Structure 1
Amino acid sequence: MTTNTLTERYVREVVRRIPGDQRDEVANELRATIADTVDAREGADRDAVERDVIQEMGDPIRLAARYADRPLALIGPVFYPTYIRLLTTLMSIVLPIVVVVTVAVDIIENNDLGSAIGTGIGATVTVAAQMFGWLTLVFACIERWQPKGDPAIDPWTPDRLPDVKLADKQAKGAVASLVWYGFLIALITWQHTAQPVILGGDRLEVLNPVLWNNWTMWTILAGLGALMVIEVIRLAARRWTMSLAIAASVAEGVFAVPLIWVLYEREFFNPEFLAKITVLDEFYLIAIFGVVALGVFEVVNRFRMLSRGE
C-alpha cells in the first residue's frame, strides 16, 4: 500500500489524535469510506475525485475530535451562554464592590488620593484577571468532566422548555448564590491578606490566623468553592437534579461542619480582635445557631425545589 497518498496522509492525521485502542478501527473505516465514495463518483481523474472527497470530509483535527468525543473549544456552546452571563455579573457587580472597598480602605489608611487611585487600578486589574481566570478554569473543567447523562447535555426536546417566569427565577437565584459564595471567599481571603484591623499600631486579621495553618480554613473555602461549581452546573442544567441536590448537601456540610466546630471551640475569630467584646459567649452562640439554621434551610430548600421540578 502506498503510504504517501492523500488518503493515507489524511488517515494518519486523524488517527494520531485519537486514543490508541481506536486507531486501527478508525483508520480502516476512513480508508473504506474514502474508497467507496471515490468509486461511487464518476470522473476521469481519480486523484482529483479523491481530493474532492477528502476536502468534503473536512479538517482532520475536527474529525478526530468527533471520533474521540473530545471538545475542541475551551468552553463549548452548551455552557458558553451561562459562562458569559456569569462573567458579566461578576465584572459588573462584584468587581466594582471589591474595588470600591479596596480604595476606601487605602484612603482611610494613607489619606493619599494618588495612592488610592493606584490601588484602585491595581485592584481592578488583579481582581478582574482572577475572576476571569478562575471562572474560565471552572467552566473548562465542567465542559470536559460533565457526565454524558446529565440533563445539561442530553439531546434537547420541547419537553425541556421551562416556564419563562420559573426559568428567570431559577437563574436569578443561582446567580445570587454564586455572587454570595464568591463574596464570602473574597472576604475571607482579603481579611487574611490585608489584615484590616489596626490595634495599637499593629495590623490584625478578623479571623483567627491559626486556622490557615491546618485544614480548617482550607476546608471551609473548599466547601464554598464546591457550592459555586454546583451552582454553575445548576445554571447550565436549568434545574435541580437529585445528584446536584446531594452534591450540594455534601458541599454544604464540608463548609458548615468545620465552621460550626471552630465556633463551638471559640477559635474562629482572632482573640486579639475579640479582646474588647464583653459578651463573647453569647456572640459565639448566636453565630453557631445562625450557621446551623442557614445550612439546614439551604439543604431543605434544594430538595424542596427538586420535588417541584425547579
Structure 2
Amino acid sequence: MDLIKPYVYEVTRRLPDKMQDDVALELQSTIEDMLPEHPSEEDVRAVLTNLGDPAVLARRYSDRPSYLIGPALYDQYLNVLKLVLPIIMIIVVISVVAEKILSFSGETSMLSIILSIFIQTLFAAASAGIQSVFWITVVFAIVERSTKSEEEPFGKAWTPDQLKNKPAIPKKRLISNWELAGGLLWTAVGVTVYLNASSLFAIYEQENSEGLNKAATVFNEEILGSFWPYIALLAGSSLALIIYKWVLKQWTIKLAVINTLYNVLWVILLSLMLSHPDLFNSAAVQELEGALQSDLSNLTQWVRLTVIITVVVFSGIDIFEGFKKAREGRKYKKLEVEQVDRTTEFLKRRL
C-alpha cells in the first residue's frame, strides 16, 4: 500500500490553497531523499513515523499560528492582566459603594445594604472583568498575527547578540509590577474622583424619607470643569510614563528626569487648581457655616495649603527615590565591572 501520497495529502489539505502544490512537491522530495534506493513498506513507515503527525507538520509549514497567544507574548499578556484586573475591581467596588451610600434613605436595614452591595459588586466586577480580558486578548491576538512566525513580536528577529544589550538588572533598580499597578491605580482613581467630584463632595439633605437630596456641591462645578483639559493631559502623561516604565523595566537617570518633570507638572496643576479663589462653592460654604455657626474662610485656606504641602512632600520623595534607584543601579554596574577586571587580572597572573 502506498502510504506516501495519503501522508502528503493529510499535510497539504490543512494548508492554504496557494501553498499546497509547493509543499506537496517539497515534502514528496524530502521523503524520497530519506528513503533507500529500493524501499520496503517498513522503510516508508519508519520515515513517515520520523516525520510525525501530519497535522503537526502542517503547522510547521503554515505561517499562521495555531494558538491565540503564543509563547513569545504569553508572559507579557499575563502581566498586563495582573496589572489591569485588580485596578478595575477596585474601581468597581469604590463606584458601587459610593452609589449605595449616596442613595441611602435610612429605611433599609444594614444587612440588606451589605447584601445589595455584594451582589451588585459581583455582577459589575464580572462584567468589567470579562470585557477587560476580552479586549486585552484581542489586542495581543492581533499583535501575534501581525508579525511573521520567524520574528519576535514587534518585528524584531531574536539572535544571541541581543543578549549583549540586555544585561541583568539589579534588584534595587528593577521596576516591579506592584509599582506599575500602583501608578495605574492612582491615575484611575484620581480621574474617577475628579469626574464624580460633584457627587462625592457635596452637602446632602434628607427630605420626606425619599433618600438624600443634593443641597449644594462643595466645589464650583464650572471652575472644576475648566481644568479638565489639564487633568486629561496629566492623566495621559501618567499613562505614558507607566508604559515607558513597563518597557524599560528599570530605573535610569533619563527615567528619573522624566519622572521629575511629571511630578513638577502635577504639583503646578494642583496648586493652580486649589489656589483659584472661586474653587469652593459659596453656597456650600454658607450651608456649612450656618450648620456649624462658624466662619470657614480660614478653614478653606488651611485645606488648600495642607493639600498643596502634602503633594509637594510626596512628589519630592518620589523624585528622590527615582534618582536614588537609578544611581544605585549605576554603582552596582561599576562594582560588577571592577569585579570582572579583578577576576581577569587574577587569571592572567595564574596563567
Q: What's 2:200 paired with?
A: 196
Whether the 8 Å CA contact 2:11–2:58 is kept in 1: the answer is: yes
- AA of the residue aligned to 1:196: L
Q: Determine whether 1:300 maps to 2:323.
A: yes
Q: What's 2:182 paired with?
A: 180
Distance 1:253 1:229 in 2: 16
Deviation at 1:184, TM superposition (A): 1.2
Distance 1:251 1:182 in 2: 17
Q: What's 1:108 paired with?
A: 101
Select which of 32, 35, 39 maps to 1:41: 35
CA RMSD in angstroms, aligned pairs only: 5.3
Whether the 8 Å CA contact 2:11–2:57 is kept in 1: the answer is: no
- SS in structure 2 opposite 1:201? strand
Map 1:265-276; keep pairs closer than 5 Å: 265-266=272-273, 271-272=279-280
- AA of the residue aligned to 2:250: W
Per the alignment, do residues 28 and 121 of structure 1 end up closer, same or farther by CA in structure 2, a change over 3 Å counting?
closer
Distance 2:251 2:158 in 1: 12
Map 1:246-265; keep pairs closer than 5 Å: 246=254, 248-249=255-256, 252=259, 255-256=262-263, 258-265=265-272
Q: What's 1:128 paired with?
A: 129
Whether the 8 Å CA contact 1:103–1:120 is kept in 2: the answer is: yes
Task: Kindly provide the CA deviation profile for residues 119-174 of structure 1, in whole angstroms up to 9, marking residues without a partner as x.
Answer: 323432244335535655676669833855699x9679xx98889xx5xx888x61
Q: What's 2:154 paired with?
A: 145
Task: Kindly provide the CA deviation profile for residues 198-218 of structure 1, in whole angstroms up to 9, marking residues without a partner as x.
Answer: 235355779933333x3x323
Distance 2:305 2:257 in 1: 29
Whether the 8 Å CA contact 1:220–1:259 is kept in 2: the answer is: yes
Deviation at 1:58, TM superposition (A): 3.4
- AA of the residue aligned to 1:144: P
Whether the 8 Å CA contact 2:256–2:326 is kept in 1: the answer is: no
Distance 1:144 1:94 in 2: 26
Q: What's 1:20 paired with?
A: none
Whether the 8 Å CA contact 2:83–2:180 is kept in 1: the answer is: no
Percent identity of paired positions between Structure 1 and Structure 2: 15
Deviation at 1:94, TM superposition (A): 4.6
Select which of 306, 309, 318 maps to 1:286: 309
TM-score by length of 2: 0.54
Task: Kindly provide the CA deviation profile for residues 220-248 of structure 1, in whole angstroms up to 9, marking residues without a partner as x.
Answer: 222332344345446xxxx6386xx74x4
Select which of 208, 211, 214 maps to 2:224: 208
Q: What's 2:250 paired with?
A: 240
Structure 2: runs of 5+ lacking an equivalent: 145-151, 204-213, 286-296, 337-351
Per the alignment, do residues 9 and 139 of structure 1 end up closer, same or farther by CA in structure 2, a change over 3 Å counting?
closer
- AA of the residue aligned to 2:267: I
State the aligned residue count.
Answer: 276
Distance 2:275 2:28 in 1: 68
Structure 1: runs of 5+ lacking an equivalent: 18-22
Distance 1:250 1:10 in 2: 56
Whether the 8 Å CA contact 2:187–2:238 is kept in 1: the answer is: yes
Task: Kindly provide the CA deviation profile for residues 286-305 of structure 1, in whole angstroms up to 9, marking residues without a partner as x.
Answer: 25634651452253144235
Distance 1:128 1:148 in 2: 34
TM-score by length of 1: 0.59
Whether the 8 Å CA contact 2:11–2:55 is kept in 1: the answer is: no
Whether the 8 Å CA contact 1:11–1:31 is kept in 2: the answer is: no
Select which of 37, 55, 58 maps to 2:56: 58
Whether the 8 Å CA contact 1:14–1:60 is kept in 2: the answer is: yes
Per the alignment, do residues 89 and 188 of structure 1 end up closer, same or farther by CA in structure 2, a change over 3 Å counting?
closer
Per the alignment, do residues 290 and 38 of structure 1 end up closer, same or farther by CA in structure 2, a change over 3 Å counting?
farther
